Structure 1
Amino acid sequence: MSTPERIVIIGASLAGGSAALALREQGYDGDLTVIGEEPHRPYERPPLSKSVLLGDAEEPDWVGEESFWADRATLVTGTVATSIDPGRKVVSAGGREHAYDKLLIATGSAPRRLDLAGADLDGVGTLRTYDDSLALRARFTEGAQVVIVGAGWIGCETAAAARKHGAQVTMLDPLSAPLVRVLGDQVGSAFAALHREHDVDLRLGVGVTGFAGDDAVSEVRLAGGATVPADTVVVGVGAIPNIALADAAGLELAAGGIAVDAALRTSDADIYAAGDVAAHDHPFYAERVRVEHWANALEQGKHVAANLLGESRPYELRPFFFSDQYDLGCEYRGLADPARDRLVIRGDLEAREFIAFWLRDDHVAAAMNVNAWDDGDALTELVESRRPVSVDDLVSGSLG
């Protein structure tokens, strides 16, 4: 197969930016165009809810030096791609057409919005972009009344940042514990205790019916008639993959994303997808996997470069993510279903120094270390090998 003369990447995201860097590192010297909606060059998103929001950093971690984007790729920022024509092999964006031989869709996700009264009031927002993070940080002042809707990863990390700045924080979620869909009730309860110990007013099993205020938000309305005062509301209720372009272009969709094979190729042989939008036929799992985490975007972006150049390497890495909240740090490896898999705890859950394992049959489907940093390699091996393990060994025996 001949090397493509023109590669276009839609999405100046972590996945898109990582793919561009990898293409040049692998010796690609053809035309390389990256189209992004934001005014910035590609960057990593974890600092937005961590170091940048906390005030420990002024900038995110950039993907590639400025010189790379000035000299080695055509970076089109502040521009929305409006259509893909697979027949003619062109992408329309910014009033012009960009021809391609190979195309990568790395359009990421958009924050899920709430279709509720007052959702468009000033002070009601989301956290997705670098500009969002800076704007929220400016509002997280001493005594500010911050309400966070949703106790997922973004909600929990945002709550921790707001408390560091001295804001009063109320976190609302209709479920029984923070992070319950990923971690289940028992581990989620440890995160509930963490936030309450840091004076977050955590209200669970609570639904939001709307927001009120004149020009700016002043309160959040709850089911049952109660209200919570607020001058800032952060809506963290998940994300929606940006797949409209792919859908309009006639690409196959699946599992909420763009269907891709093991090598990240879509139903069109010249179009690939990576990151949040990729519903991946993962060789390790018996189902399509779509992951909205930093490591997946980074590694799929790097991986897909060789396939854009003519190879067909399957992407085989397991999901990985991390979180920092107050004095708690954790890493999660694998893919578990807490409603289905058996939870085994090693260490002290109440002290928040533990490792959680989710067992499926006799092997570890996922493992999460919380404030425990000595066994990362062993946890990776347990998840990747699928070797049989005993509960006794997980609780108190050797993990090697």
Structure 2
Amino acid sequence: MSEQREQRPRHVVVVGAGLAGVQSAVALREAGFTGPVTVIGGERHQPYDRPPLSKAVLLGSAEHPAFDVDFEALDITLRLGLDATGLRTADHALDTADGPVRYDVLVLATGAEPVTLPGSESTPGVHLLRTLDDAARLRPVLDRQCDVVVVGAGWIGAEFATAARAAGCAVTVVEAAARPLAGTLPAEVAAPMADWYAGSGAELLTGARVESIEEGAVLLADGRTLPSGAVVVGIGARPATEWLAGSGITLGPDGSVTADSALRTSLPDVYAVGDCASFPSARYGTRLLVHHWDNALQGPRTVAAAIMAAEKREQPPVYDPVPYFWSEQFGRFVQYAGHHAHADTLLWRGDGADAAWSVCWLRDGALVAVLAVDRPRDLAQGRKLIGSGAALDPERVADPALPLKSAAL
């Protein structure tokens, strides 16, 4: 019986039909895996890309940003509109409303879910922007040019405010912290970004905590009332892993699946990738949880290679990327690469009041992160320098007239 089990093709089941899940399935085929592959997704839509939701889809210039993947040609089975509700690892079975789904190898790619304001879920006129259906519900709001209140001045809040202003809506952005991106960037770096809101015609209220949301109004803790035709909540996201409770898979304090350097979980034959998984970074000496598109694109290649290595009993690969993301907001292209949490030096390339500028973070003389506003060459060169770990000349780094790569010693 055990010999027959070893001889039959192993069935890989991927939970999550977003970028990380789809790319995991595609990467397996590209790596030469010939066994059955099934992708299970909670949404009924054909798998799609998320970045266009806050841009082209929201503004009506695109409809369905489906992935350009021929699942039939790749012999990948899609089971859509099916939520995973539990995991019985001892039985190698995934629980769903349609009954158990057996697997030999499981890839967790369930992504992240938006954080909501308590009590607001059932309030009319309150929206999130995470799914294709969310974008579809918001398009009429922009078409009617409603007065919009955006809760949260993070990346998604800024992107939605940008789209709403482009559609002609009056926009007020409410942020509980003292500045935009308070949990992401230092005060001096975020300060110029606060001016972008007013420049676009949006009003930014910082240090403003939402007390409650009623139909047609947002009530602030300081007593102010903001009239609203619609409210969009963008206050962050958390790994979509609650369904794994009791499975035996180790989760971190942030709710992420704690994968190892090959994106293997604490249980055999189970991997995790994308927004739901954290991984150890030798480059930065810490565990990283990266909620960005590039991580969901790059990680699946490691998962596929690790699965294939396990099949051949070979050493698995190591996943330690230079994190990268971008944001288009208020007519600017913002890019970030690296991880600056433990940097000891911050250097500006240009003035934050200018149209284009960059910020570089160094640790022990080497570049660890770069933020570029409409300076794509700084980002491209900086990303390579981070990967190389080269020591840099700080004076040349701080000279915006010089190519960043020329600072390498």
1:307-322 alignment runs, 5 A limit: 307-311=306-310, 312-322=316-326
Contact 1:255 1:279 (8 Å CA) reproduced: no
Equivalent residue, structure 1, for 2:246: 248
In 1, Cα distance between equivalents of 2:72 and 2:124: 35
Separation in 1, partners of 2:100, 2:370: 46
TM-score with structure 1 setting the length: 0.93
Matched-pair contact (CA < 8 Å) for 1:293–1:321: yes
User: Could you tell me how far apart the structure 2 residues matched to 1:290 and 1:381 are?
Assistant: 21
Aligned partner letter, 1:374: R
Is residue 174 of structure 1 aligned with residue 172 of structure 2?
no
Q: Share of identical aligned residues, percent?
A: 37
Taking structure 2 as the reference length, the TM-score comes to 0.91
The structure 1 residue matched to 2:29, chosen from 6, 10, 24, is: 24
Distance 2:265 2:370 in 1: 31
Question: Structure 1 residues 357, 71: CA separation in 2 closer, same or farther (over 3 Å shift)?
Answer: closer
Aligned position for 1:226: 224
Partners of 2:281 and 2:258 in 1: CA distance: 11
User: Quick one: distance in 2 between partners of 1:71 and 1:261?
Assistant: 28
Out of 121, 124, 127, the residue aligned to residue 126 of structure 2 is 124
For the 8 Å contact 1:182–1:337, the answer to whether it is kept is no
Q: 1:162 deviation in Å? A: 0.3
Which sections of structure 2, spanning at least 5 residues, go unmatched? 1-5, 311-315
Partner of 1:111: 114
Q: Return closer, same or farther for 1:366/1:225 CA change in 2, 3 Å cut-off.
A: same
The secondary structure found in structure 2 opposite 1:299 is helix
Secondary structure of the residue aligned to 2:149 is strand
Task: Give 1:349 shift.
Answer: 1.3
For residues 101-150 of structure 1, what are the alpha-carbon distances to aligned partners after superposition, in whole Å with 9 as ceiling and x for unaligned?
1100001111101114x552111011100111121122113541100000
Contact 1:4 1:309 (C-alpha < 8 Å) held by counterparts: no
SS of the residue corresponding to residue 96 of structure 1 reads: coil
The aligned counterpart of 2:331 is 327
C-alpha distance in structure 1 between counterparts of 2:153 and 2:263, whole Å:
31
For structure 1, list consecutive stretches of 5 or more residues without a partner in the other structure. Answer: none
| Aligned residues of 1:17 and 1:64 also touching (Cα < 8 A) | no
Matched residues in 2 for 1:301 and 1:69: separation? 20
- Contact kept, 8 Å, 2:322 with 2:338, in 1: the verdict is yes
- Residue 33 of structure 1, CA deviation: 0.9
Q: Which residue of 1 aligns with 2:92?
A: 89
Report the counterpart of residue 266 of structure 2 in structure 1: 267
Q: 1:331 Cα deviation (Å)?
A: 1.2
| Distance across 2 between alignment mates of 1:222 and 1:341 | 38
SS in 2 for 1:321: strand
Higher-RCO chain (CA-CA 8 Å, sequence separation at least 6): 1
The equivalent position to 2:50 in structure 1, one of 31, 42, 45, is: 45
State yes or no: 1:9 paired with 2:14: yes
1:61-100 paired onto structure 2 within 5 Å: 62-65=66-69, 67-69=70-72, 72-100=75-103
Stretches of 4+ moved more than 3 A in 1? Answer: 1-4
Supply the AA of the counterpart residue of 1:297: A
Work out which of the residue numbers 341, 361, 377 in structure 1 matches 2:364. 361
Counterpart of 2:296 in structure 1: which amino acid? A
- Partner deviation per Cα, 1:151-195 (whole Å, 9 max, x = no partner): 000000000000000000000001122112222222212221111
Residue of structure 2 equivalent to 1:141: 143
Distance in 1 separating the partners of 2:219 and 2:62: 34
**CA-based RMSD:** 1.9
Alpha-carbon shift at residue 255 of structure 1 (Å):
4.5
Alignment of 1:360-399 (within 5 A): 360-396=363-399, 397-399=402-404
